[in-house]
Amino acid sequence: MRTIAEINDKIQRQQAEVWTVEEVKARTPELGIAEVAQRVDVITTGTFEPMESSGAILNLGHTDPPIKIYQCWMDGVLAYAGFGAVDLYLGASQPAEYGGAGDPDPSDGTRDALRSPVRRRGGGHVIADLIAGKSVQVRAIGQVTDCYPRASLETTITRDTINQFYLYNPRNLYQNFIVGVNGGDRPLYTYLGCLQPRLGNAVYSNPGAIAPLFNDPYLDVIGIGSRVFLGGGIGYVAWEGTQHFPLQKRLPNDTPIGPAATLALIGDAKQMDPQWVRGCYFSSYGASLMLGVGVPLPVLNEEVVRRCTVQDSEIVAPVVDFSIPRRVRPTFGLVSYAQLKSGRLTMDGKTVRVAPLASLHLSRQVAIALKQWIDAGKFTLTTPVAPLPSDRTFLAQERISSQINLE
Amino acid sequence: MPVTYRLAKDFNVAANIIRAQVAPNQIGTLLVELSGDIDQLDAAMEWLRLQDIGISTLSREIQIDMESCVHCGLCTGICPTEALTLDSETWQLNFARSRCIVCEQCIPTCPVQAISTNL
Ligand code: SF4
Ligand code: SF4
């Protein structure tokens, strides 16, 4: 039907026809798949949700005398330093430490600033602050060697005073996820927020039919090297994500019934926009990073459009009870995203309030922003250099769990 | 003047100081939360006025910083009165202040700390 090169040619002439996936879902029933596939070159999708398996690679630049960093804290958050001298990796869910070697000096008046709201911080907040142009305090201890004589370093950095600053996120863009509930009798504080006892609420975290990977269930047009919108900048699909599980059970429409494919993403954080990168904190659970990610789907054939017509009523997620502290938790069965988005669910004869965790509003805005980039000729598509694996199984640490087996 | 002492001793009213700006021999302000028997509260306020202390009352209110809010909706599943809801068209957060009972359960729930009280 058309190739990526032809699409890019049209994008560069600002003549490409770009629709958001919501427009495709709304207009295809009336126009028909063939007609939409004729007219549309690119379909944009987006999501905005907490993605805790994210992090930033930073290179501070060499000091004089130079240092080989052994341990390092950025605004009190431990960064991994087990690379070359001043290379660091700052993980989004690493909590801020207080009173440790990375703690800012209390005598300089920062002690008040360390009271509880600030304690609810972690790597995600530091990454978001750097992207917002704020300065971040760095404290490092060096391993003294003949070539790296410096023993310690205390300085302040911004994104403009360091060499490289890019996100490398080992697991983003879950293709479907779960719905959390709590059948126990005390509140549970989880990565889905607070789950109230006795099925007090339910939380789902995937934006459903508008989510990028629900619209390409077998990753036919997404692969390694696909260019994406990442945090308001340009990013790429680097690899399969951790826990990538394409063999998840699927419905007849090929969408998975639970967590399935994931992607590892990479992108220059210096180009990112604070609007799409937000540090967040879940009460009594920890810090994370909310990220806007947009994926363009090239309309190479009618099948691409057909996949994008999937509706919230046709996709499901499992309802999982978090009150059982096991890896495999009992489920209350599958529920459709249309039901979840209605805000109510009936379980055990009881009406349960349902809240999302992905921002449906900002997910939609990501798809619109990406469409605007393509319309303006600022964003072209790439041909993947390799496909993502379609046969990964989902291994668990059986040996460890059998040691604590209570059965 | 030991205002909070007199409130406690004479009226059995507990005064929880939220903010204080007081310096010797100057006019200061004190933001206090008073709790006690309703009649005694009235009497305590009357006494304060007689001491030439200007009083203005303020009730605790929820504030939502819409600049920080990401419309994730997490607070809507916690709010017991459905004062917090998501608009089913735009998926933006709606706050119906008239329904809010200031239970403050939403405050720790918000992952971006967009919710606070005015006090
Ligand atoms: S204070 Fe309570 S009632 Fe008011 S919005 Fe928050 S959760 Fe709802
Ligand atoms: S939890 Fe916070 S960010 Fe999410 S919708 Fe409520 S106020 Fe907005």
- Which distant-in-sequence residues (6+ apart) come within 8 Å of A358 by Cβ? A47, A48, A49, A204, A205, A206, A207, A211, B72
Ligand nearest to the CA of B70: 2
Tens-place pLDDT, residues A329-383: 778 899 999 999 999 999 888 999 999 999 999 999 999 999 999 999 999 999 9
Residue A106 placed within a domain: yes
Q: How far apart are CA A294 and CA A47, in angstroms?
A: 6
With a 6 Å cutoff on the Cβ, whether B41 touches ligand 2 is no
Q: Are A215 and A275 in contact (CB under 8 A)?
A: no
pLDDT average, residue stretch A294-304:
98
- Closest residue CA from atom 3 of ligand 1: B100
Phi, psi dihedrals of residue A180, rounded to the nearest 5° = -95, 135
Question: 3-class DSSP state for residue A215?
Answer: helix
Q: What is the mean pLDDT of chain A?
A: 92
Q: Are A193 and A282 in contact (CB under 8 A)?
A: yes
Dihedral-angle region of residue A132 (phi above 0 means left; psi in -120 to 50 means alpha; beta otherwise)? alpha
Count of domains forming chain B: 2
More confident residue, A214 or B19: A214
Residue A122 placed within a domain: yes
Query: Are A262 and A368 members of one domain?
Result: yes
**Which H/E stretch holds residue A23?**
helix A21-31
Query: Are A94 and A66 members of one domain?
Result: yes
Of A140, A122, A101, nearest to A55 (Cα)?
A: A122
The sign of the torsion formed by the CA atoms of A61, A67, A71, A73 equals negative
Query: Are B81 and B109 members of one domain?
Result: yes
Residue A190 has pLDDT above 90, yes or no: yes
Q: How far apart are CA A213 and CA A237, in angstroms?
A: 13
Q: How confident is the model at residue A407 (pLDDT cuts 50, 70, 90)?
A: very low
Last residue of a domain, one of A162, A192, A222: A162
Angle between helical axes of A360-375 and A21-31 (0-180°, round to 10): 80
Task: Write the DSSP symbol of residue A386.
Answer: B
| Pairing mode, strands A227-230 and A193-195 | unpaired
- Which distant-in-sequence residues (6+ apart) come within 8 Å of A238 by Cβ? A168, A224, A263, A264, A265, A266
CATH code of the domain containing B32: 3.30.70.260
Query: In A309-395, where does DSSP find H-type helix?
Result: 337-341, 360-375
**What pLDDT, on the 0 to 100 scale, is given for residue A112?**
42
Query: Are B10 and B44 members of one domain?
Result: yes
Query: Are B39 and B78 members of one domain?
Result: no
Domain containing residue B69: 62-117
More confident residue, A399 or A380: A380
Residue A114 has pLDDT above 50, yes or no: no
pLDDT average, residue stretch B53-82:
92
Residue A106 has pLDDT above 70, yes or no: no
Residues of chain A with C-beta less than 8 angstroms from the C-beta of B71: 359-362
Mutational test site, ligand 1, from B60, B79, B86, max ligand atoms within 8 Å of CB: B79
User: Does B90 contact A361 at a Cβ distance shorter than 8 Å?
Assistant: yes
Domain containing residue A70: 61-162
B 97-116 residues inside an 8 A Cβ radius of A: 108-109, 111-113
Residue A105 has pLDDT above 50, yes or no: no
CA angle, residues A192, A401, A182, in degrees to nearest 5: 30
Query: Are A152 and A186 members of one domain?
Result: no
Residue A98 placed within a domain: yes
Query: Are A153 and A184 members of one domain?
Result: no
Query: Are B41 and B67 members of one domain?
Result: no
Which of A72, A147, A194, A280 does the annotation list as catalytic? Answer: A147
**Complex-level ipTM:** 0.89
- Closest residue CA from atom 6 of ligand 1: B106
Query: Are B68 and B88 members of one domain?
Result: yes
Query: Are A40 and A85 members of one domain?
Result: no
Q: How confident is the model at residue A119 (pLDDT cuts 50, 70, 90)?
A: low
More confident residue, A56 or A401: A56
Phi, psi dihedrals of residue B35, rounded to the nearest 5° = -135, 140
**What pLDDT, on the 0 to 100 scale, is given for residue A111?**
41
Count of domains forming chain A: 2
Q: Are A365 and A273 in contact (CB under 8 A)?
A: no
Q: Are A98 and A67 in contact (CB under 8 A)?
A: no
Query: Are B66 and B101 members of one domain?
Result: yes
**Lowest mean pLDDT segment, chosen from A234-243, A266-275, A320-329:** A320-329
Query: Are B67 and B111 members of one domain?
Result: yes
pLDDT average, residue stretch A75-96:
96
Residues of chain A with C-beta less than 8 angstroms from the C-beta of B108: 194, 283
Residue B3 has pLDDT above 70, yes or no: yes
Q: How confident is the model at residue B21 (pLDDT cuts 50, 70, 90)?
A: confident
Residue A291 has pLDDT above 70, yes or no: yes
Q: Are A299 and A374 in contact (CB under 8 A)?
A: no
Percent helix, strand and coil across chain B, each to the nearest 5: 30, 25, 50
Per-range mean pLDDT, top range of A52-61, A317-326, B13-22: A52-61
In the reported structure, the alpha carbon of residue A57 is separated from the centroid of ligand 2 by a whole-number distance in angstroms of 29
Residue B97 placed within a domain: yes
Query: Are A201 and A219 members of one domain?
Result: yes
Query: Are B66 and B113 members of one domain?
Result: yes
Query: Are A376 and A231 members of one domain?
Result: yes
Query: Are A301 and A393 members of one domain?
Result: yes
Q: Are A62 and A87 in contact (CB under 8 A)?
A: no
Query: Are A378 and A284 members of one domain?
Result: yes
Task: Write the DSSP symbol of residue B25.
Answer: T
**What pLDDT, on the 0 to 100 scale, is given for residue A318?**
96
Residue B46 placed within a domain: yes
Mutational test site, ligand 1, from B60, B63, B102, B119, max ligand atoms within 8 Å of CB: B102
Residue A256 has pLDDT above 90, yes or no: yes
Tens-place pLDDT, residues A211-250: 999 999 999 999 999 999 999 999 999 999 999 999 999 9
**What pLDDT, on the 0 to 100 scale, is given for residue A116?**
44
> Hey, is the C-beta of A355 within 8 angstroms of any chain B C-beta?
yes
Query: Are A218 and A87 members of one domain?
Result: no
Query: Are B8 and B39 members of one domain?
Result: yes
> Hey, is the C-beta of A280 within 8 angstroms of any chain B C-beta?
yes
Of A355, A363, A314, A316, nearest to A207 (Cα)?
A: A363
**Which H/E stretch holds residue B106?**
helix B106-109
Q: In 10 A of CB A29, how many CB atoms? A: 11
Query: Are A28 and A66 members of one domain?
Result: no
Residue A407 placed within a domain: no
Residue A273 placed within a domain: yes
Residue B82 has pLDDT above 90, yes or no: yes
A335 residue type, one letter? V
Which residue of chain A has the CA closest to B70?
A359
Query: Are A222 and A271 members of one domain?
Result: yes
Residue B56 placed within a domain: no
More confident residue, A1 or A342: A342
In the reported structure, the alpha carbon of residue A110 is separated from the centroid of ligand 1 by a whole-number distance in angstroms of 32
Query: Are B106 and B67 members of one domain?
Result: yes
Q: Are A44 and A369 in contact (CB under 8 A)?
A: no
pLDDT average, residue stretch B23-30:
81
Q: How far apart are CA A356 and CA A341, in angstroms?
A: 8
Residue B91 has pLDDT above 70, yes or no: yes
Ligand nearest to the CA of A360: 2
**What pLDDT, on the 0 to 100 scale, is given for residue A107?**
44
> Hey, is the C-beta of B72 within 8 angstroms of any chain A C-beta?
yes
**What pLDDT, on the 0 to 100 scale, is given for residue A399?**
58
**What pLDDT, on the 0 to 100 scale, is given for residue A126?**
98
Which residue of chain B has the CA closest to A292?
B70
Q: How far apart are CA A30 and CA A25, in angstroms?
A: 10
**Token output for B81:** 């009165």
**What pLDDT, on the 0 to 100 scale, is given for residue A398?**
66
Which residue of chain A has the CA closest to B106?
A194
Beta bridge partners of B20: B30
Last residue of a domain, one of A132, A162, A192: A162
Size of interface A-B (CB pairs under 8 A): 75
Whether A72 is a known active-site residue: answer no
